[in-house]
């Protein structure tokens, strides 16, 4: 009898030790798996330590659209994260995370894209902004972004992937020929740009204001989350070159409900002092 009791006790202890491991999600292309990848990324960024990341051999790493050394990049800088928001694209095995660091000595707002390959993180891309960059204000970004209501959309009301992409592309296309009538504007709609905010707290709030013309939003890459009604676009503000605009690294995050734009968040890796003030306007 004593032997049986000891065996039973040992089994309970073993099960207790295994439960945390069993409860922890694995990195994968499911929503839970992508969330686990994001959790590990946020932990790594908080500590400035890559050792806990399941990185694939030959992992791709970019900062502000330029290839970089992951062992020397922003990921190795410990940041106190005040707020983050993540969306997940299970079709392309990608996630996007908005990260706000309201540290007075080293503030940042950054957007991070991860791509998962089976159980490893195969790509990490970060677009970061800080003091001196286009309209940068981490405190304002935190204030406005953290109070917005981004909830999962009920299955019967979700837009298709095609509808979400069409809405995002229509907004970005408007910058070239200024055909804003083709954009599915929603009301109210507010835009956070670097930290600048267009909302006034009224039902008439619009994201239409300040869209310039003559700028080609180029090199677009997408992360689409139908559950959250979001499209994230990594792109360049202009195609670059003598006649193609600055080509500054740029990011847009759209929240779309019922096919209409409701929230637009943007980051541009462009020094405020480098802004030429030609056709770029103040909307992104």
Does 179 share its domain with 243? yes
Question: Running DSSP on this structure, what letter comes out for residue 25?
Answer: P
Does 118 share its domain with 163? no
Q: Does a structural domain hold residue 9?
A: no
Among candidate residues 125, 147, 169, the one where a domain is terminated: 147
DSSP string across 148-168: S---PPPGGGPPPHHHHHHHH
Q: Does a structural domain hold residue 73?
A: yes
CATH code of the domain containing 183: 3.10.450.50
Does 194 share its domain with 240? yes
Does 120 share its domain with 166? no
Does 167 share its domain with 98? no
Question: Which of 160, 177, 162, 174 lies closest to 252, judged by CA?
Answer: 174
Q: 228-245 pLDDT, tens per residue?
A: 999 999 999 998 776 666
Does 142 share its domain with 186? no
d(CA 107, CA 104): 6
SS3 246: coil
Does 83 share its domain with 172? no
- CA 109 and chain centroid, separation: 10
Does 161 share its domain with 267? yes
Domain carrying residue 41? 31-147
Does 68 share its domain with 88? yes
Question: Which of 169, 178, 185 lies closest to 222, judged by CA?
Answer: 169
Q: Does a structural domain hold residue 6?
A: no
Q: Does a structural domain hold residue 20?
A: no
Does 84 share its domain with 193? no
Q: Does a structural domain hold residue 70?
A: yes
pLDDT tens string for the chain (284 positions)?
554 555 555 555 455 454 444 445 799 999 999 999 999 999 999 999 999 999 999 999 999 999 999 999 999 999 999 999 999 999 999 999 999 999 999 999 999 999 999 999 999 999 999 999 999 999 999 999 999 999 999 999 999 999 999 999 999 999 998 889 999 999 999 999 999 999 999 999 999 877 778 889 999 999 999 999 999 999 999 987 766 667 999 999 999 999 999 999 999 999 999 876 544 445 55
Q: Does a structural domain hold residue 117?
A: yes
Q: Does a structural domain hold residue 280?
A: no
pLDDT of 153: 98
Q: Does a structural domain hold residue 122?
A: yes
Does 59 share its domain with 83? yes
Does 227 share its domain with 248? yes
pTM of the predicted protein model: 0.89
Backbone angles phi, psi at 109, to 5 degrees: -130, 125
178 and 212 Cβ atoms separated by less than 8 Å: yes
Among candidate residues 147, 178, 196, the one where a domain is terminated: 147
Strand 83-89: give its sheet, edge to edge.
Answer: 66-67, 55-63, 120-129, 108-117, 94-101, 83-89
pLDDT of 1: 54
- Total domain count for the chain? 2
Among candidate residues 107, 122, 147, the one where a domain is terminated: 147
């Amino acid at each position: 009898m004593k032997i049986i009791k000891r065996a039973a006790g040992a089994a309970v202890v073993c099960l207790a030790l295994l439960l945390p491991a069993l409860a922890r999600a694995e990195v994968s292309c499911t929503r839970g798996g992508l969330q686990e990848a994001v959790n590990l990324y946020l932990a790594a960024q908080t500590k400035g330590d890559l050792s806990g990341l399941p990185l694939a051999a030959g992992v791709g790493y970019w900062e502000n659209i330029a290839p970089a050394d992951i062992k020397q990049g922003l990921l190795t800088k410990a940041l106190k994260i005040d707020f983050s928001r993540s969306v997940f694209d299970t079709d392309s095995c990608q996630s996007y995370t908005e990260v706000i660091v309201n540290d007075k000595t080293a503030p940042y707002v950054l957007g991070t894209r991860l791509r998962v390959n089976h159980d490893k993180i195969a790509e990490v891309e970060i677009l970061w902004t800080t003091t001196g960059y286009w309209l940068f204000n981490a405190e304002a970004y935190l204030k406005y972004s953290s109070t917005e209501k981004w909830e999962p959309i009920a299955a019967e009301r979700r837009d298709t992937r095609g509808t979400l992409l069409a809405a995002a592309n229509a907004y970005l296309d408007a910058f070239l020929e200024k055909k804003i009538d083709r954009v599915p504007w929603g009301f109210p709609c507010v835009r956070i740009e670097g930290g600048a905010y267009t909302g006034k707290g009224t039902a008439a709030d619009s994201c239409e204001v300040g869209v310039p013309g003559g700028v080609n939003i180029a090199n677009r890459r997408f992360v689409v989350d139908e559950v959250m009604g979001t499209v994230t676009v990594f792109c360049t503000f202009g195609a670059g070159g003598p006649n193609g605009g600055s080509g500054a690294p740029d990011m847009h995050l759209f929240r779309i409900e019922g096919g209409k734009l409701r929230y637009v968040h943007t980051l541009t890796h462009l020094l405020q002092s480098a802004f030429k003030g030609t056709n770029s306007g103040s909307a992104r």
